[in-house]
C-alpha cells in the first residue's frame, strides 16, 4: 500500500551529525547557557543583549554547517513521493535551515528560525541572516522591539492549525531525532495514531514517547533515514528491523 500523506517531524537529532548540538545534553546546558537565560520571554526583558548575542553566535555558526544524509533523504522523499500521488508535510522543531539547504522546498518551522527576526510590537517577521541587537528598529512599524524569531518556552508554536490538519490527514507519521519531552510536538504521534496513521520513530535510543509509536529504527539518523526512504521509494513498504517496539 502506498501512503497518501506522510508527516515527518524532525528534532535536534536530525542535525546532530551536521555538528549542531542537541538541546538535552548531559550537562543540561544548551550551547553553554541555561535555557532560562536565553529561551524564555523573561530573558528578553532581563538581559536582551545576552539573548540577541546568543542567537547571533548560533546564526554565525550555522553558516559553517551543512546538511547530512538524513536531511537529504527527507528532501528526496518530499520531492519524489508526489510523483507517486502522495504528499509529504515536513514539520521541524529546529531553528536551523539545513532542511532547506538539503533541498526541502516547504518546511514548517514550528519553533521559529535563526534566519528570521520578529517584531514584538507589530508581530511581523522577516528574513535576516545577520547579527541583531536590542537597538534594532522594526522595518515595518519602526518600533524598537526586534527580537530573534524563536518560539520561547511558554509561547505558542507557529502553524499549529496547519500541523493539526496534516496530522489528522496523514497515514504515516515519522519522527526523527526528537526526545519527545517538549509538547505539543511530543503529542503529535499519539494524535496521528488516533487518526489511524502508522507511526515510526528514528532515534539513537527509545524516546520518552517511544511506546506511542508502532515501531522504531534506532541508530544514527544519517544511516537509518536514508535506508528507510530508499526502501519506501522502491517498494512503497516500510523498512522494519528486529528492534520493533
Ligand atoms: N540520530 C538520531 N537521533 C539522534 C542523533 C542521531 N545522530 N543524535 C541525537 N539524537 C536524538 C537524541 O537521542 C534525542 O532523543 O535526538 C534527540 C534530541 O533531543 P532534544 O535535544 O531534546 O531535541 P528536541 O527533541 O528537538 O527538542 C525539542 O526542545 O529546547 C526545546 O525548542 C527546543 O525544539 C527544541 C525542543
Output phi, psi for 161, to 5 deg.
Answer: -65, -45
Q: Whose CA is nearest to atom 35 of ligand 1?
A: 93
Q: What's residue 114's pLDDT?
A: 97
Residues 6 or more apart whose Cβ sits within 8 Å of residue 200 = 172, 173, 174, 175, 213, 214, 215, 216, 217, 228, 238
pTM: 0.96
Q: Any residues with Cβ below 6 Å from ligand 1, and which? A: 11-13, 16-17, 22-24, 93, 111, 177-179, 182, 202-205, 207, 220-221
188 CA → ligand 1 middle, Å = 15
131 CA → ligand 1 middle, Å = 26
pLDDT in tens, the chain (245 residues): 689 999 999 999 999 999 998 887 766 667 778 888 899 999 999 999 999 999 999 999 999 999 999 999 999 999 999 999 999 999 999 999 999 999 999 999 999 999 999 999 999 999 999 999 999 999 999 999 999 999 999 999 999 999 999 999 999 999 999 999 999 999 999 999 999 999 999 999 999 999 999 999 999 999 999 999 999 999 999 998 755 53
Helix ranges (DSSP H) in 148-201? 160-169, 188-194
Tell me how far apart the alpha carbons of residues 140 and 73 are, in angstroms, rounded to a whole number: 38
Q: What's residue 32's pLDDT?
A: 79
Residues 6 or more apart whose Cβ sits within 8 Å of residue 142 = none
Whether the Cβ atoms of residue 17 and residue 222 lie closer than 8 Å to each other: yes
| 111 in active site | yes
Q: What's residue 35's pLDDT?
A: 82
Tell me how far apart the alpha carbons of residues 47 and 42 are, in angstroms, rounded to a whole number: 8
22 CA → ligand 1 middle, Å = 5
Q: What's residue 102's pLDDT?
A: 98
Ligand 1, pocket-test mutation among 14, 17, 22, 149, most atoms within 8 A of CB: 22
- Rounded (10°) CA dihedral 231, 234, 83, 68: 40
Whether the Cβ atoms of residue 148 and residue 95 lie closer than 8 Å to each other: no
Cell of 49: 543583549
Residues 6 or more apart whose Cβ sits within 8 Å of residue 182 = 93
161 CA → ligand 1 middle, Å = 23
Instruction: Exactly one of 71, 99, 111, 196 is catalytic; name it.
Output: 111
Amino acid at each position: 500500500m502506498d501512503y497518501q500523506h506522510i508527516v515527518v517531524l524532525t528534532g535536534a537529532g536530525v542535525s546532530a551529525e551536521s555538528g549542531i548540538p542537541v538541546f538535552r545534553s548531559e550537562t543540561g546546558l544548551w550551547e553553554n547557557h541555561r535555557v532560562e537565560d536565553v529561551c524564555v520571554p523573561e530573558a528578553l526583558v532581563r538581559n536582551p543583549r545576552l539573548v540577541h548575542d546568543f542567537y547571533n553566535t548560533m546564526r554565525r555558526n550555522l553558516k559553517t554547517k551543512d546538511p547530512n544524509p538524513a536531511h537529504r533523504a527527507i528532501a528526496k522523499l518530499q520531492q519524489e513521493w508526489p510523483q507517486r500521488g502522495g504528499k509529504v508535510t515536513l514539520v521541524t522543531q529546529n531553528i536551523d535551515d539545513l532542511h532547506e539547504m538539503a533541498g526541502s522546498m516547504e518546511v514548517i518551522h514550528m519553533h521559529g528560525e535563526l534566519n528570521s527576526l520578529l517584531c514584538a510590537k507589530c508581530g511581523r517577521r522577516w528574513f535576516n541572516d545577520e547579527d541583531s541587537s536590542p537597538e534594532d528598529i522594526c522595518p515595518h512599524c519602526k518600533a524598537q522591539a526586534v527580537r530573534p524569531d524563536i518560539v520561547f518556552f511558554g509561547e505558542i508554536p507557529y502553524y499549529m492549525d496547519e500541523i493539526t490538519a496534516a496530522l489528522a490527514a496523514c497515514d504515516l507519521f515519522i519522527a526523527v531525532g526528537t526526545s519527545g519531552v517538549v509538547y505539543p510536538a511530543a503529542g503529535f504521534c499519539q494524535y496521528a495514531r488516533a487518526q489511524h496513521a502508522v507511526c515510526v520513530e528514528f532515534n539513537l535510543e527509545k524516546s520518552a514517547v517511544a511506546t506511542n509509536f508502532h515501531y522504531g529504527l534506532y541508530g544514527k539518523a544519517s544511516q537509518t533515514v536514508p535506508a528507510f526512504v530508499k526502501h519506501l521509494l522502491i517498494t512503497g513498504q516500510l523498512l522494519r528491523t528486529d528492534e520493533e517496539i
